[in-house]
Amino acid sequence: MTNDDAIEIAARAVDLAIGAGAQNAQATFSVSQRFHVEARDATVSKLERSAGSNVHLRLWKDGRRVAVSSSDLNSQHLRAAIVGALDQLRYVAQDPFAGPPDEFGRFAGDLSLVDPAVSSRDDAERIEDVLALERAIRAADPRIVNSSGSHYSDAVSTIGLASSNDFRGAYTATRASRSTAPLAEESGSKRTAHYGTAGCFMRDLEDPAVVGAVAARRAVEMFGARKPPTMRAPVIFERDVAAAVLDDVFSAVAASNVAVGNSWLAERIGERVGSELVTIIDDGTLPGRLGSAPFDGEGIATRRTPVFESGVLRTFLYDTYYARKLGARTTGNSAGGGIGANNFYLEPGRGSLAELIGSTRRGVLVLDTIGFATEHATGTYSRGARGFMIENGELAYPIDEFTVAGDFAEMLSGVDGVASDLRFDSTTVAPSFRVAEMTISGN
C-alpha cells in the first residue's frame, strides 16, 4: 500500500464522519505487514506472518469528543459505527478544551524511516536468525541448557492521517528486532536472562552472535549471587535499566499526569532538578530512529524538545488537549489517544561503562530490576534488583534479592557520571549512568 492510498482511506473516513453529523473529525489509518519467528534449540516453535489494518477516528460535536476504531473498511459498516459513536456523545460532558488541533504540519526533512532490506529479506534468512541465536547462546557456555525462545520480528507499517481541517499526511516505516532468553543451570540452580536489539534498519541490529553472547553472559554471571549489605552507596544503572528509569521520568513530564497532580515535577518548570549532566531530549526528527515520524498522532509536526537542559526542567510534553488545559503549546507528542514519547533520551557522556565502574570505589551495578514501585505523584522510586557489587573499581561478586530505592529529585540531582553507551533501540533510551548515593536494602 502506498502513502497516497493510506491518505485516501483516512480522508474517506473523515468524509463519512462529517456526513454522519460530526462537526470536526480526524482519522488515522494504519496498515502493517508483520513477520515473527521463534525457535528453541534447533526447532522453529512459532512462525507467523500477518497483515492488518485499522482506522481510528476522533469525532467532535458541541464541545464533546468521542473515538471509534474499526478494522472493517466497508463504507456502510464504517458509517454505522460512526453513527453509533456520535449517538454516545449525549452521555459525554462538554469540555472547553476538546476540539481538533489549531495547527497542523509535518517535519520537512528526510527522516529515512524505510529500509528495503527489511521487506526484501528471504524467509530462510529470517528463520536462520533465530536458529543462529539459539546456537550462539549454547556455544557461549555449557551451562546454557535451554531457552524461553529466540525471536526475530520485522514489520513494514504505513500511517495515513486526515482531518476535516484539511490536513493530509502519510509515512511508511520499517522496524526489525532480534532477542533471546537463555536458561542456565549449575548445581541445581537455574538462572535466566534476556537481551535484544532493534532498529528501523537491519544494519543497526547487533549480530545474532553478539546478542547470544551477551544474553548468555547475563545468565551465567549471576550464579553464586548473594544479598548485598544494607547501605547507602553509589548506584550505576546499566543502559537497559537506565532506560526504564527514564521511562518513569517521562511519566512525570507527560502533561496528562501533570494536569491531574500525578507528577512530582508539577509547578517546577524553570527549576534546577537534576545535575549538570542531566540533559534529556524528546526528538521525533532523528533520521532512522524508531520513534521518529514527520508528524504526531494528531497531525502536528514533530520537533526536537529539550525537556531538561543541564538539570533545569524546561518544559512538559504536550498534546493539543493538555496544552490547552495547561495554557501551553503542543510539543508534538500526541500518540493519537494520549501523550507518547518520540525519541526520549538522556544525552550520553564520554566515557564507557567500564570507566564508570572503574571510578566507583564501592557501590552497586544494577543490571535488572523487578516489580513496579514508582510513586509518580511524590517521585518515590523503589525496585527489586540484581547486579554486581563494586569494590575498588571492579566487579567483585554478583548480588540479587535486594532493593534499590530513592527519591527521583535526589536521583537526578545526584547523577555524577554518564557513559557513552547510548543505543536507539526503543523510543525511550538512555546510556548507563551513576547516581552518587541511593539506599540499598539487602542483609
Full 3-state SS string of the chain = CCHHHHHHHHHHHHHHHHHCCCCEEEEEEEEEEEEEEEEECCEEEEEEEEEEEEEEEEEEECCEEEEEEECCCCHHHHHHHHHHHHHHHHHCCCCCCCCCCCCCCCCCCCCCCCCHHHHCCCHHHHHHHHHHHHHHHHHHCCCEEEEEEEEEEEEEEEEEEEECCCCEEEEEEEEEEEEEEEEEEECCEEEECCEEEEECCHHHCCCHHHHHHHHHHHHHCCCCCECCCCEEEEEEECHHHHHHHHHHHHHHHEHHHHCCCCCCCCCCCCCECCCCCCCEEEECCCCCCCCCCCECCCCCECCEEEEEECCEECCCECCHHHHHHCCCCCCCCECCCCECCCCEEECCCCECHHHHHHCCCEEEEEEEEECCCCECCCCEEEEEEEEEEEECCEEEEEEEEEEEEEEHHHHHHCEEEEECCCCCCCCEECCCEEEEEEEEECC
Per cent of the chain over pLDDT 70 is 100
Same domain (yes/no): 303, 422: yes
Cell numbers describing residue 54: 485499522
198 contacts: CB under 8 Å, gap ≥ 6: 175, 176, 177, 178, 205, 290, 425, 426
Beta bridge partners of 362: 391
Q: What is the pLDDT of residue 127?
A: 97
Q: What is the mean pLDDT of residues 53-69?
A: 96
Orientation of helix 3-19 relative to helix 75-87, angle to 10°: 50
Q: What is the pLDDT of residue 376?
A: 86
Number of domains in the chain: 2
User: What's the pLDDT band for 213 if we cut at 50, 70, 90?
Assistant: very high
Q: What is the pLDDT of residue 336?
A: 85
Same domain (yes/no): 152, 260: no
Q: What is the pLDDT of residue 375?
A: 85
Q: What is the pLDDT of residue 321?
A: 96
Same domain (yes/no): 237, 297: yes
Same domain (yes/no): 39, 133: yes
* Cα angle: 383, vertex 406, 397; to 5 degrees: 60
Same domain (yes/no): 148, 281: no
The pLDDT of residue 30 is above 90: yes
Q: What is the mean pLDDT of residues 401-415?
A: 96
| Least confident span in 171-175, 243-247, 303-307, 334-338 | 334-338
Q: What is the pLDDT of residue 337?
A: 83
Please, are residues 73 and 9 in contact by the beta-carbon 8 Å criterion?
A: yes
The pLDDT of residue 442 is above 90: no
User: What's the pLDDT band for 443 if we cut at 50, 70, 90?
Assistant: confident
Q: What is the mean pLDDT of residues 149-157?
A: 98
How far apart are alpha carbons 110 and 168 in whole angstroms? 18
336 contacts: CB under 8 Å, gap ≥ 6: 28, 56, 58, 297, 298
**Residue span of the structural domain in which 151 resides:** 3-220
Same domain (yes/no): 242, 381: yes
pLDDT tens profile 236-245: 999 999 999 9
Domain end marker among 204, 220, 236: 220
Average pLDDT, the chain: 96
Same domain (yes/no): 309, 288: yes
Same domain (yes/no): 24, 52: yes
Please, are residues 208 and 132 in contact by the beta-carbon 8 Å criterion?
A: yes
Q: What is the pLDDT of residue 232?
A: 97
Residues listed for the chain: 443
Q: What is the mean pLDDT of residues 31-53?
A: 96
pLDDT tens profile 100-133: 999 999 999 999 999 999 999 999 999 999 999 9
Q: What is the mean pLDDT of residues 164-178?
A: 97
How far apart are alpha carbons 180 and 157 in whole angstroms? 24
The pLDDT of residue 353 is above 90: yes
Domain end marker among 220, 239, 257: 220
Core vs surface per residue 114-123: b (16+ CB within 10 A) or e: bbeebeebee
How far apart are alpha carbons 333 and 281 in whole angstroms? 12
How far apart are alpha carbons 82 and 185 in whole angstroms? 56
How far apart are alpha carbons 405 and 211 in whole angstroms? 30
Closest CA to 236 of 34, 434, 21, 24: 434
The pLDDT of residue 373 is above 90: no
Same domain (yes/no): 256, 348: yes
Q: What is the pLDDT of residue 224?
A: 93
CATH number of the domain at 56, please.
3.30.2290.10
User: What's the pLDDT band for 25 if we cut at 50, 70, 90?
Assistant: very high
Same domain (yes/no): 249, 377: yes
Same domain (yes/no): 154, 251: no
The pLDDT of residue 367 is above 80: yes
